[in-house]
Structure 1
Amino acid sequence: MRSGIVKSMTVMTTVAMLAVGLAGCGGGSSASSSDKGRVYFLNHKSEVADQYHQLAKDFTKKTGIKVDIVTAATNTLDQTTQSELAKKDAPTILSIGMDNFPKFKKYLLPIQDTDVYKLLDKNGKEYSMKDGNDSFTFPFAAEYYGIIYNKKIINEYGTKPYAVVKSVDEIKDYATLKKVITSIQEHKDDLGLQGAVTTPSVDASDEHRFVSHMSRIPLFYEYQDSNTTFKPELKGTYLKNYKDLFDLEVASSPSNPKTASNKTYDDCVAEFSQGQVAFFPEGVWAYPLIRNNKVADEDMGMLPYWMGIPGEEKMGPASVYDASWAINKKTSKANQEASLKFIKWMVTSEEGKETLSHKMSFSVPFSAFNDKYQPNNVLTLSARAYEKQGKPLVRSFNLPSTQWGDNLANALLEYTQGTKDWDNVEHSYIDGWQKDWKQVKQTTGALPTATKLH
């Protein structure tokens, strides 16, 4: 989640960005008057770019307000945002996440007094990114991540004489999960599998699973020990648990550790979606990429991101309200109003609600999204079910920088390939954390506000 938690299977991983102007497109008004302002939306979710374009087209047709959309390629949001903000006609709506909020906060309009902010539900308002009394972002997707599983494979495994569980329902903690993964890997040929877990490639397209998702699990529990939501220095208390799970994935995947980085995120998705492995550590956003392949909806579920940390069995998967819209305060008042009008239309109109919830599969934290407008995403339903069982979701907290993530990914790659040891990973995580937050403070003049977690 370096610049937004979702990464996708797309040819845009090889290009800088895709820009599509929508004025006058498909019946839209090409003569929208300047006093109406214009909307220029910098999107970072390439897997739903087509749906955004259709919404923009419909909005232009209804209002006469011109809408342009640019979609940043995977792993380029920070660079693209910086580049686009330097232009005369800069984006009016920015895609902001926890990790790039400190960097771009100076460009953002406080939005707590807007009509759109008032439409956020309780969680949406709570997770709007703040500085003091000001709120700056509209979260538009509550997302969840953990360990996705193929129920059919595990239940078939459960019929074997060597099985350590009879069904996935018996996997209730990391100790059991580890035994199941190890056993499936040992008997993969008999089960017709290539491995137990998807390849941890740590390729540039796949590294987010380990530096943006998995890294936040030990962070949450260290924060929980200190009852805080932020620390500029870490002890790395639970990195040994991270290592245990990472080692398990490396040893139980279809790939040789020394060449695992040759696989891309697309390859890892394919391993799971084609039924070649039983487990896939990832988030609900992967559902559109998995479905309609060889894993039926009824066979998909999500386990929490267990790694042997005391008390983790009482928690559910991890949650994140990272994907957010923000308004550029440096654009004209007319453009700001047009942009707010576009966002309001997306979260209140039938077209917008239907598209965001059902076509994009977002769980949207705005009050207009009742039970009718929840995503048809079995992984979201699986993750949310833990809350109904009384198990709180693990919270996701800010990471310091893209550079911190890149350095951690490089250290993991070197560890996987056997060229450096685990101490180098811990150094990147702990020392890099302190160094990069210090740099953030020097650059922005502020750090995330530390409040009590409980």
Structure 2
Amino acid sequence: MNTMKKTVAVAAIAALGLTGLAGCGGDAADDGKGHVYYMNNKSEVVDQLQQIADLYTEQTGVEVEIQTAASGTYDSTMSSELSKSNAPTMFNISGYDQFAKYQDYVEPLQDTEVYGKLTDEGKSYSYKIGEDSYTLPYAAEWYGIIYNKAILEDYCSKDYAVIDIVDDIVDYATFKDVVESIQKHKDDLGLAGAIATPGLDASDTYRFGAHMTRIPLFYEYRDNDTTFMSEIEGTYVDNYKDFFDLSVENSPTEPGMLSSKTYDDCTAEFSLGQVAFYPNGVWAYSNIKGNEVADEDLGMLPYFMGIEGEEEYGPAGVYDASWAVNKNASEEDKQATLDFIEWMVTNDEAKKILAKDCGFAVPFTTFGEDEQPDNPLTAAARAYTEAGKTELRSFTIPNQQWQDNITNALVEYAQGTGDWATVKDAFVNGWATEWANNEESLGMLPQADKFSAEG
């Protein structure tokens, strides 16, 4: 997702507006079967997608062309390519703002065979207008409170421990007691702090603006039995405050220095075994592995904030990356594109590339437990669903401006130059302001459905 720290694998893409990957397959391509033109925005998986394209053309004779837009140029590239006679037949949508921009190009997919293969969670994240569903989520990720099992097991062996085993942490009150106890005895445990620094450098603020904000939002939507409100009351923003304060007070960094701590700094605290807890997502594994925390010692708790009913939920899921099909393509090319997508999520070789090589947890029923990414954090998050917990849904947030305003208020609050009322104002009043701006500029708002039917 665009708010997460991603590593761009192909440096050349950064210098070019577009990288062409024509998977034409030479003589293998059959012009009579239609063709697929995929506009991709994930530059970190260029090679893997090309491998998939070549394999499909080799097996079916259908031409698959993949183009990848450079980071930060996807919208401008899409606008240019969609105006051409040979426009993309499928493209990526990441976030509601992109869906709104390309609403005139998206084909309804709810009656297709491939849509039927989505998991229930995947279907709930498909962007809808009325009864029509227009996108196919293809990469599920989760976030919560990552923890180091070895540190917690060592802590639990101490006389001063407030829990006997890690599994005793089932709510915010217990989590808070454990964090404060570890902080009090950090020297004896050989730690720098109980919880990783809540860094407020720009590289790290997505954790607080894009992810942590969605926890109180989820429960306010739950209370109102809806999946969207353009105005909110901020019912649980003070629970957000409690969690943020707990992190500030029990991390290795003084409050006034939070804005100087980068994503890499905060991740290093956890990956080097200096802290027990790290609120973040499964994507952090690429930066954690190979350091001081063994794979078998990685676990994940839900985002506990002291909200009634939260013990029934697991970590939060986010499904920002989706496929869409161009409704203006020829019927032949649309069918070729739908066939290609269905093949990607049913063919054993393609599934392996998506899950193991790209690292995507693909939300289709065609993927078995052994066909998920080799990521212990993904396994830890998915274990909650297998245990009967409900996945906490990440509802869409307005835009980057809303996140930035919250972050700026958090910096002032942490430094003592601002108060919490300013943070709450950025959260609540900023929400209404930015959705009003979106409605004016995009011409639409997210569809509100019954919460009980969505998750």
Question: Shorter-normalised TM-score: what interval?
Answer: 0.7 to 0.9
Secondary structure at the aligned position of 2:202 is classed as coil
Contact 2:231–2:428, Cα closer than 8 Å, also in 1: yes
Secondary structure at the aligned position of 1:317 is classed as strand
Contact 1:314–1:391, Cα closer than 8 Å, also in 2: yes
Secondary structure at the aligned position of 1:177 is classed as helix
- Tell me the residue number matched to 2:22: 23
What letter corresponds to residue 440 of structure 1 in structure 2?
N
What letter corresponds to residue 285 of structure 1 in structure 2?
W
Q: CA 1:263 to 1:68, structure 2 compared with 1: closer, same or farther past 3 Å?
A: farther
- Tell me the residue number matched to 1:311: 309
User: What are the residue-to-residue correspondences of 1:321-332 with 2, within 5 Å?
Assistant: 321-330=319-328
What is the deviation of 1:302? 0.9
What is the deviation of 1:238? 0.6
Q: What per-residue deviation string (whole Å, max 9, x for no partner) do you get for residues 405-446 of structure 1? A: 222223223333333222221111111111122222223333
What is the deviation of 1:170? 1.9
Q: How many residues align?
A: 445
Q: Determine the C-alpha separation between the residues in 1 that align with 2:417 and 2:105.
A: 42
Mean CA deviation greater in 199-208 or 213-222: 199-208
Mean CA deviation greater in 173-182 or 281-290: 281-290
What is the deviation of 1:279? 1.0
- Tell me the residue number matched to 2:286: 288
Q: What per-residue deviation string (whole Å, max 9, x for no partner) do you get for residues 271-315 of structure 1? A: 222222211111223233322332112211111100111221232
User: Normalising by structure 1, what TM-score?
Assistant: 0.87
Structure 2 unpaired stretches of 5+: none
Structure 1 unpaired stretches of 5+: none
What letter corresponds to residue 55 of structure 1 in structure 2?
I
- Tell me the residue number matched to 2:141: 143
- Tell me the residue number matched to 1:359: 357
What letter corresponds to residue 312 of structure 1 in structure 2?
E
Contact 2:216–2:235, Cα closer than 8 Å, also in 1: yes
What letter corresponds to residue 351 of structure 1 in structure 2?
E
Secondary structure at the aligned position of 2:139 is classed as coil
Q: Determine the C-alpha separation between the residues in 1 that align with 2:305 and 2:289.
A: 27
Secondary structure at the aligned position of 2:144 is classed as strand
Q: Determine the C-alpha separation between the residues in 2 that align with 1:30 and 1:182.
A: 66
Mean CA deviation greater in 245-254 or 182-191: 182-191
- Tell me the residue number matched to 1:51: 48
What is the deviation of 1:131? 0.4
Q: Determine the C-alpha separation between the residues in 2 that align with 1:272 and 1:91.
A: 42
Q: Which of 279, 298, 301 is the equivalent residue of 2:299?
A: 301
Secondary structure at the aligned position of 2:191 is classed as coil
Q: What per-residue deviation string (whole Å, max 9, x for no partner) do you get for residues 110-134 of structure 1? A: 2234343233244333332110122
Q: Determine the C-alpha separation between the residues in 1 that align with 2:18 and 2:222.
A: 43
Mean CA deviation greater in 204-213 or 90-99: 90-99
Contact 1:440–1:447, Cα closer than 8 Å, also in 2: yes
Q: CA 1:310 to 1:126, structure 2 compared with 1: closer, same or farther past 3 Å?
A: closer
Q: Determine the C-alpha separation between the residues in 1 that align with 2:118 and 2:309.
A: 32
Q: What per-residue deviation string (whole Å, max 9, x for no partner) do you get for residues 27-80 of structure 1? A: x43996777435232223x5544433432343355446242342553xx4xx63
What letter corresponds to residue 152 of structure 2 in structure 1?
I
Correspondence 1:176 to 2:186: no
Correspondence 1:85 to 2:79: yes
- Tell me the residue number matched to 1:261: 259
Contact 1:60–1:67, Cα closer than 8 Å, also in 2: no
What letter corresponds to residue 96 of structure 1 in structure 2?
I
Secondary structure at the aligned position of 1:393 is classed as strand
Contact 1:38–1:65, Cα closer than 8 Å, also in 2: yes
Contact 1:157–1:184, Cα closer than 8 Å, also in 2: yes
- Tell me the residue number matched to 2:421: 423
- Tell me the residue number matched to 1:245: 243
Secondary structure at the aligned position of 1:86 is classed as helix
Q: Determine the C-alpha separation between the residues in 1 that align with 2:171 and 2:317.
A: 19
Q: Which of 92, 95, 103 is the equivalent residue of 2:92?
A: 95
Q: CA 1:30 to 1:149, structure 2 compared with 1: closer, same or farther past 3 Å?
A: farther
Q: CA 1:111 to 1:290, structure 2 compared with 1: closer, same or farther past 3 Å?
A: same
Q: Determine the C-alpha separation between the residues in 1 that align with 2:301 and 2:121.
A: 23
Contact 2:28–2:58, Cα closer than 8 Å, also in 1: no
Q: CA 1:289 to 1:58, structure 2 compared with 1: closer, same or farther past 3 Å?
A: farther
Contact 1:163–1:183, Cα closer than 8 Å, also in 2: yes
User: What are the residue-to-residue correspondences of 1:47-446 with 2, within 5 Å?
Assistant: 47-62=44-59, 63=61, 65-70=63-68, 72-73=70-71, 76=72, 80-87=74-81, 88=83, 91-100=88-97, 101-330=99-328, 336-446=334-444
Q: Determine the C-alpha separation between the residues in 2 that align with 1:97 and 1:222.
A: 24
Q: What per-residue deviation string (whole Å, max 9, x for no partner) do you get for residues 250-291 of structure 1? A: 222233333333333233322222222211111223233322
What is the deviation of 1:91? 4.8
Q: Determine the C-alpha separation between the residues in 1 that align with 2:410 and 2:10.
A: 25
Q: Determine the C-alpha separation between the residues in 1 that align with 2:248 and 2:329.
A: 48
Q: Determine the C-alpha separation between the residues in 1 that align with 2:435 and 2:344.
A: 35
What letter corresponds to residue 426 of structure 1 in structure 2?
K
Secondary structure at the aligned position of 1:348 is classed as coil
Q: CA 1:168 to 1:121, structure 2 compared with 1: closer, same or farther past 3 Å?
A: closer
Alignment RMSD (CA, Å): 2.9
Contact 1:29–1:66, Cα closer than 8 Å, also in 2: no
Q: Determine the C-alpha separation between the residues in 1 that align with 2:23 and 2:313.
A: 50
Q: What per-residue deviation string (whole Å, max 9, x for no partner) do you get for residues 82-135 of structure 1? A: 443234556543322343233432332222343432332443333321101221
Q: Determine the C-alpha separation between the residues in 2 that align with 1:406 and 1:335.
A: 41
Q: Determine the C-alpha separation between the residues in 1 that align with 2:9 and 2:187.
A: 33
What is the deviation of 1:213? 1.1
What is the deviation of 1:327? 2.4
Contact 1:22–1:57, Cα closer than 8 Å, also in 2: no
Secondary structure at the aligned position of 1:394 is classed as strand
Q: Determine the C-alpha separation between the residues in 2 that align with 1:133 and 1:397.
A: 19
Q: Determine the C-alpha separation between the residues in 2 that align with 1:16 and 1:107.
A: 28
Q: Determine the C-alpha separation between the residues in 1 that align with 2:163 and 2:153.
A: 9
